Amino acid sequence: MNPELLISNRIRSTPFTSHVEACGVKAYTVYNHMLLPAFFRGIEEDYWHLCEAVQVWDVSCQRQVEIIGPDADKLVQLMTPRDISAAQIGQCLYAPLCDENGLMINDPILIKIKQDKWWFSIADTDVLLWAKGLATGFGFDVQVYEPDIWPLAVQGPKAEELVVRVFGEEISDIGFFRGEWNNFEGASMFVARSGWSKQGGFEIYVNDARLGRKLWDELFARGEDLNVGVGCPNLIERIESGLLSFGADATYKTTPFECGLDQYVSLDADIESLSINALRKHVPKTRLVGLVIARKVDLAGREVLAGKKMIGEITSHTWSPRYSVYLAYARCDLKEIAGLDELEVNTGTGSDNGQITELPFDFASLGLSGK
C-alpha cells in the first residue's frame, strides 16, 4: 500500500473537493499548496476515458497571480523573455519566467485580461512572491495578489460539445489560446480554449465557489450522453503529448533552451526583460530528450547511461498503453549525447536501451501506430 496524503489546512482544499471526493478520488498530489487529484479509477483507465469522451477537472491549483496597475506591462515583460508587446486582450501566452541568469522560475500561461491587467496561470512555484519582490524593489505602481479564482478544465474530444451546451454556441468561436467572458447563472467567467492535455477543451476561470459547484453539476447533467466523467491532468496523456511539468522536466536550474522552449524566447525583440541578455549569450549545457524503450520496464533509478557513464537523468516517465512502449523524458549532457541513438536506463535486474528522440514524441516517424 502506498503512503496516504495527510491532509491539513496548510494544503488548501478547493470549492470542488467535496465533489472530487464523492467521485472517489484515489490519489492526490499537492500543487501550489493545494489539492490536485492525481487519478480516480486508475491512471490508465482515466487515460482512455480522457482520450475518448470528456472529463471535468478540478485544476483550482492553477492559481492566478494578478498584476494590475500602470506599471503592469513593464513588470510582466521584465519577468519573461517572451515579447508580450503585441498581446491582445483575451489572449493566452505560454511563457517561461526567467531570472537574470536566464534560469527558469515557472512556465505559466499569461493572460492579458485588459489594459494594465494580467493573470499568470501558474505552475507549482510561488510566482506571487517573485512578482511582489520585484514590484517592491523596483518601486512599480502595481498591485500583485492572488484572486479567488479556481479553474475548472473540461478536456477531451467531446469537451467542445459539452461546453457549448452549458455556455452557448458562441463558445465555438473562441480560438486556440484565446478566452472570452461568458455568462453562467448571471456571473461572468473567463472561458479559454486551453488546458493541460492535447485532447482539446476549455478552462473556465471560476470566480464564485457556489456557482462553480453548480457549474460542475450542470456539466455532469448535460453531458451524460457524452459519457462525461471526472478526471484530472493525466500522466500518460501529458507525456505522450510532450507537455512539461515544472519542478520535474524544467527547474530553477534550467534555461528555456534546455527545455526545448526556444520558440517562447524573443531573442530578437527589443524588450526590457531581466533574462534576455543572459539568454542571448547562453550556451545550453543540457537538453531534454525523449527516450522510447521497447518494453514495460520498472525503472530502478533516474540515471541515464551511455556505455557505463552517467550522462543524464530521467525527469518523467510512463508506460504508454496506446503505443505499447515505455516513454521517458531525460535531461542529458548536450555534449555527451551528440551522435548517439540510444541510451541505457537501470531496471534493477539490469539495464534496457532507450531510443533517443525529439520532444514531443513523433510516434509516426518512430514507426509506432497507436491503438
> CB 7 → its own copies: shortest distance, Å?
8
* Contact call for residue 300 and its own copies (CB under 8 A): no
Using rule CB under 8 A, residue 230 touches its own copies? no
Q: What 3-state DSSP class applies to 131?
A: helix
DSSP string, 148-172: S-EEEEEESTTHHHHHHHHH-GGGG
Residues between 232 and 261 with contacts to its own copies, criterion CB under 8 A: 235, 245-248, 252
Q: Is 3 in the site for its own copies (CB under 8 A)?
A: yes
Cα distance between residue 177 and residue 194, in whole Å: 6
Interacting span for its own copies (CB under 8 A) from 25-33, 87-95, 162-170, 353-361: 25-33
User: Are the C-beta atoms of 116 and 125 separated by less than 8 Å?
Assistant: no
Residue (71 or 358) nearer to its own copies, CB: 71
Given 228, 274, 288, 356, the residue binding its own copies (CB under 8 A): 274
Using the minimum distance from each CB to its own copies, give the nearer residue, 3 or 339. 3
SS3 state of residue 208: coil
Angle at 129 between CA 65 and CA 113, to 5 degrees: 20
Cα torsion 105, 109, 111, 117 to 10°: value is: -20
The phi-psi region of residue 367 (left if phi > 0; otherwise alpha if psi is between -120 and 50; otherwise beta) is: left
Sign of CA dihedral 195, 197, 202, 204: negative
- If the CB atoms of residues 132 and 178 are measured against its own copies, the closer one turns out to be 132
Task: Return the C-alpha cell found at 7.
Answer: 491532509
Q: Tell me which amino acid residue 320 is.
A: S
Query: Per rule CB under 8 A, is residue 38 in the interface with its own copies?
Result: yes
CB of 130 to its own copies, least distance (A): 4
Instruction: Please identify, using beta-carbon distances, which residue of 47 and 167 lies nearer to its own copies.
Output: 47
Taking residues 67 to 106 in sequence order and writing x for each that binds its own copies by CB under 8 A, - otherwise, the string is --------------------------------xx----x-
Contact 147, 207 (CB under 8 A): yes
Task: Based on the shown chain and the rule CB under 8 A, indicate whether residue 131 belongs to the binding site for its own copies.
Answer: yes
Q: Which of residues 42-71 bind its own copies (CB under 8 A)?
A: none
Grouping H, G, I as helix, E, B as strand and the rest as coil, residue 68 is strand
Least distance between its own copies and beta carbon 316 (Å)? 6
Cβ(285)–Cβ(258) below 8 Å: yes
Q: Examine residue 25 and tell whether it contacts its own copies (CB under 8 A).
A: yes
Nearer to its own copies, 41 or 132 (CB): 132
Dihedral of the CA atoms 324, 155, 63, 33 (nearest 10)? -50
246: exposed, middle or buried (Cβ count in 10 Å: 0-12, 13-18, 19+): buried
Question: What's the rounded Cα separation, in Å, for the pair 113 and 18?
Answer: 30
Q: What does residue 199 show for φ and ψ, rounded to 5 degrees? A: -95, 0
Q: Which of 86, 88, 115, 139 binds its own copies (CB under 8 A)?
A: 139
Q: Which of 111, 127, 288, 332 binds its own copies (CB under 8 A)?
A: 127
Show the site string, 301-330: x = touches its own copies by CB under 8 A, - = not. -x-----------xxx--------------
Nearest CA among 57, 90, 284 for reference residue 191: 90
Closer residue to its own copies, CB minimum distance, 118 or 190: 118
- Return the residue of 42, 45, 114, 138 that touches its own copies, per CB under 8 A: 138
Binding flag, residue 137, its own copies (CB under 8 A): yes
Binding site for its own copies (CB under 8 A): 1-12, 25-30, 33, 38-39, 99-100, 105, 124-127, 129-139, 146, 235, 245-248, 252, 274, 302, 314-316
